[in-house]
Amino acid sequence: MTLTDVPNTDATSGPGRPAAEVPHMKWWGWGVEGVGFHHEDKPAFAPFVLQAVGLDLGTATKAEAPSFDGLDVAPSVATPELLDALRAAVGDGNVATDDLDRVVHAYGKSLRDLVRIRANAIERTPDVVVYPADEAEVGAVVRAAVEADAVLIPFGGGSNIAGSLEALPGETRPVVSLDVGRLRRVLDLDEDSGLARIQAGALGPDLEAQLNERGWTIGHFPDSFTHSTLGGWIATRSSGMQSDKYGDIAQIVRGLRVVRAGGVVDIPAIPSASTGPSVREMIVGSEGRLGVITEATVQVHRRPEQRRINAYFFPDWAAGLAAMRAISESDAALSVTRVSDARETGFSLATSKESHGLSKFLSGTALPTIMKSKGWDLERICLSFIGFEGGAEHVKRQKRLVDAIVKQHGGMGVGTGPGVLYDQKKFDTPYLRDFLLDHGAAGDVSETAAPWSKLAGVYDGVVAAAEAAYERIGTKGWVMCHLSHSYHSGACLYFTFAFVFGDDPIGEYDVVKGAIQQAFIDHGGTISHHHGVGLEHSPWLEEDISSEGVALMRSLFTAADPGGNFNPGKILG
């Protein structure tokens, strides 16, 4: 079944489109709402976060919405010959050298990226942005760029927060940003095999809508779902909120097509093969260093008959972690296994948008009274969300298993009503970051994965490292965490941190972010579970995979791209 008629109104169609209609430009907000995500002037979480980081709105000065006209953008160094070759490849109307397109494609959406934009400290913009319409045009762009010894950086939704999209500051060669936003369709659905062939530029909502129309889902929902693409998920080894059931993107992707200067790498969608080392695995997580991903064949699933998110409380963090481990060892097959520490639980309980679910419980006295009768300290309680999907009998059976394990670990269930809170807030983290940034404060995230035996030590080490970092820079800060994905041998811990800036925003951010990353390594975690490496995490790569591991990776990139044309510097720094 070929899917060709599903409309897509979100992807770019080239530089001639007004900024207010282009998602990348909406994100930056020039002419729309201001730089970044803007949820509302004072989000529901504001009082809680402001108190946590010591930010007083009565004395803080809110930053004015940045003006694009105030930015200094260096002239493009793209040569006439290169521009002619690119126009011949994709058409004159799909090659842009204007300042707005170039700035929009200069960075991702990390705190560092937004601070530099707001501070008019853009180190290097692309010299030209191209919008190919299909794989043949991508191939023509790649050949033109390599022949001109230009740098080529693939660009999907622009949501990356690890520095994977920016050109190196000292790059003197022309830099071409290849925007795959026009490659956005579900091309084919093999219902017998549960496989869908999808173009790499398809945004999460677009590809999911096209699959849903046929009764299918990809099951991959990262925090950035509404603004990220299939190609970006693959390039950074993304994980989604329901990866416990559907797998990380590395498990979801079965086939790939990747354009290189010499041709197209075509990896067929085979269930399993012993043809190793796996070229598919080399490409997943390669961040554009091995070529441009144009298409992927992914596992898809029938939309479940039922989907339930149940909430549970545990007396403390240790009990919550132990329960998640026991669930992972059980026969339960779940879509979500998540538990927040006491700090994030307090944050969640303070930020419900509607008076139902948890807020309904807490507006009275029943739940706190029950907890106190159990001897619980309400300052230490931890909130958990467990997801169940499938047929009615399957969901009922899985819930019985989970309920028994929760009870064994001293926890209690509070039903499905609070699941609304989970669905309300699952894409909200970027709004927190931008609200804080508007008021002179930092808010960001960093995540890791570790074996079950080391998880508690990683958590304690990171919290201690973050608090020590706040002390070093002389500010009040906040750090909170949740376990977001469970595996047979361990889990992912996802940390959110915030603090008020002093005189050196990026320098202070580096102290805190660096302390957290080093704590991951020191206590047995990895440097990134699902945000990729880029430039942001590359300083810790050798400690993560060993010096010989780095040497092996460097040899691969050098042999595959001797001219250093494909997104140089990423992953290895």
Was 291 annotated as part of a binding site? yes
> Known catalytic residue: 509?
no
- SS3 (DSSP) at 326: helix
β-strand 128-130 against 95-96: which pairing, if any? antiparallel
Report whether the peptide linkage leading into residue 277 is cis, meaning its omega lies within 30 degrees of zero: yes
β-strand 263-267 against 216-217: which pairing, if any? unpaired
Q: Residue 17: CB partners within 8 Å, gap ≥ 6?
A: none
Was 287 annotated as part of a binding site? yes
Was 143 annotated as part of a binding site? no
Q: HSE of 235 in the Cβ direction (CA atoms, 13 Å)?
A: 36
CA gap 446, 531 in Å, rounded:
8
Was 564 annotated as part of a binding site? no
Whose CA is closest to 229, among 195, 271, 186? 186
Was 228 annotated as part of a binding site? yes
Place of tokens 């909170």: 480
Task: Find out whether 432 and 443 touch, Cβ atoms under 8 Å.
Answer: yes
Give the number of other Cβ atoms within 10 Å of residue 116's Cβ. 18
Q: DSSP class of residue 93?
A: G
Q: DSSP class of residue 284?
A: T
Strand segments (E) across 269-319: 292-299, 301-302, 306-314
Token output for 422: 């989970």
- SS3 (DSSP) at 159: coil
Was 433 annotated as part of a binding site? yes
Place of tokens 């159990």: 374
Was 224 annotated as part of a binding site? yes
CA gap 320, 315 in Å, rounded:
8
- Residue 146's identity, in one-letter code, is V
Was 288 annotated as part of a binding site? yes
The region that residue 557 occupies, defined by phi over 0 for left and psi between -120 and 50 for alpha, beta otherwise, is: alpha
Q: HSE of 510 in the Cβ direction (CA atoms, 13 Å)?
A: 8
Sign of the dihedral through C-alpha 81, 87, 92, 98: negative
Was 237 annotated as part of a binding site? yes
- SS3 (DSSP) at 544: helix
Was 236 annotated as part of a binding site? yes
Place of tokens 């498990």: 251
Catalytic residue among 107, 431, 470, 494: 494
Task: Output the known binding site.
Answer: 223-229, 236-239, 287-293, 433
Q: Which residues are catalytic, by number? A: 494
Q: Which residues does the annotation place in the binding site for substrate?
A: 433
Q: Please enumerate, by residue number, every residue annotated as part of a binding site for FAD.
A: 223-229, 236-239, 287-293
